[in-house]
């Protein structure tokens, strides 16, 4: 015969059971809350990482073909030195200057704009440009000591540049494209009768925009962007005002004809603005939005947002003897709550 306990639970046992249940529930809730916080933090970090990596991939693509920037444009770094100084033929002990370059893009202690000039490979590869293409030769003067006249012909130059059938580049002559002409020669100015080795060597160059207003000519860079470029003769500082002026003042190469190179380039500006969608009080530093814009036909167009919630972007070169550029986008750190 089975005897059942008819007493049930006492008040003490019931309170203990409720207390244990409360402890278990509180532990479960605490774990769930912590897991939710971690999940939210991981999601935020993943979103930031994807955003940052995508922006850095776009910038990396723009930095490909950066050769035309070196020694041709002036962008001062955090220490007041030109970020694009490049010495291919000297060593650091000869220069006796600071060899590294670092540029901080932000709205605080750094600068809010950074400029890049890069070759636009989508328009076609580099073109060897023969100056003969751009001129009409006059009649023989009949005197071997007198040269025949040369008349610059914009239409003839344009035809040879864009006529792909004759070795030209059909993709070059399109409205808004920026054409860059230079030579392989690298020249330094003279100082007290000697070559100034402390000045980076560079080629004379001409930069112009394809524009309907200019017709077969090239339109000079405007809108303040022209101040970036060292479009002068490297040996005497005289300005280069047109393609005709550039071709007529080419440097000699051992008495032979100088090689002229033509390519399409992109002038890109990276800049930051305050991120108005994020509360500054929620972050350790003011969150910013990183943008990129391209210069076309006298103005900045195709503004693209690369990343939001940015603290800064840092670009660095280890040495002015190397072309390598390292860059990193730093995200604003959110305050812990």
| Average pLDDT of the chain, as a whole number | 86
Which pLDDT score is estimated for 97?
A: 83
For 202, which DSSP code? B
- The vertex-121 CA angle with 220 and 77, nearest 5°, equals 65
Tokens of 312: 């800064």
Q: Which tokens sit at 134?
A: 């751009």
- pLDDT score for 3: 53
Which tokens belong to 268?
Answer: 């890109």
Q: What is the pLDDT of residue 46?
A: 45
The pair of structure tokens assigned to 264 is 């399409």
- Tell me, yes or no, if the pTM score tops 0.75: yes
Query: What percent of the chain has pLDDT above 90?
Result: 47
| Burial of 270: CB neighbours in 10 Å, binned 0-12, 13-18, 19+ | buried
Residue 336 has pLDDT above 90, yes or no: no
Torsions phi, psi of 191, nearest 5?
A: -135, 115
pLDDT value, residue 233: 93
b/e 85-100 (16+ beta carbons within 10 angstroms → b): bbbeeeeeeebeeebe
Chain centroid to Cα 219, Å, comes to 23
Confidence of residue 139 (pLDDT cuts 50, 70, 90): confident
Q: What is the pLDDT of residues 202-251, one digit of tens each?
A: 999 999 999 999 999 999 999 899 999 999 999 889 999 999 999 999 98
């Amino acid at each position: 015969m089975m005897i059942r306990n008819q007493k049930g639970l006492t008040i003490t046992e019931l309170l203990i059971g409720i207390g244990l249940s409360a402890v278990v529930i509180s532990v479960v809730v605490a774990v769930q809350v912590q897991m939710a916080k971690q999940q939210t933090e991981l999601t935020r970090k993943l979103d930031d990482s994807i955003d940052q990596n995508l922006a850095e991939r776009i910038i990396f693509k723009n930095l490909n073909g950066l050769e035309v920037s070196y020694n041709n444009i002036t962008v001062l770094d955090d220490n007041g030195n030109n970020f694009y100084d490049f010495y291919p033929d000297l060593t650091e002990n000869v220069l006796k200057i600071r060899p590294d370059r670092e540029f901080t893009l932000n709205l605080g202690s750094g600068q809010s704009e950074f400029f890049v000039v890069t070759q636009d490979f989508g328009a076609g590869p580099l073109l060897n440009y023969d100056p003969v293409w751009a001129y009409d030769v006059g009649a023989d003067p009949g005197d071997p000591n007198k040269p025949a006249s040369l008349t610059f012909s914009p239409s003839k130059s344009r035809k040879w540049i864009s006529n792909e059938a004759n070795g030209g580049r059909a993709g070059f002559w399109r409205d808004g494209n920026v054409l860059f002409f230079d030579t392989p020669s690298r020249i330094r100015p003279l100082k007290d009768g000697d070559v100034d080795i402390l000045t980076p060597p560079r080629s004379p160059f001409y930069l112009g925009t394809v524009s309907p207003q200019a017709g077969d000519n090239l339109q000079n860079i405007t809108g303040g962007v022209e101040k970036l470029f060292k479009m002068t003769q490297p040996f005497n500082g005289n300005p280069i005002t047109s393609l005709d002026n550039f071709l007529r003042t080419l440097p000699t190469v051992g008495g032979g004809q100088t090689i002229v190179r033509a390519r399409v380039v992109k002038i890109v500006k990276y800049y930051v603005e305050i991120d108005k969608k994020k509360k500054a009080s929620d972050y350790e530093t003011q969150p910013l939005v990183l943008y990129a814009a391209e210069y076309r036909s006298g103005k900045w167009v195709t503004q693209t947002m690369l990343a939001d919630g940015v603290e800064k972007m840092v670009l660095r070169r280890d040495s002015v003897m190397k072309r390598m550029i390292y860059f990193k986008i730093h995200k604003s750190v959110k305050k812990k709550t």
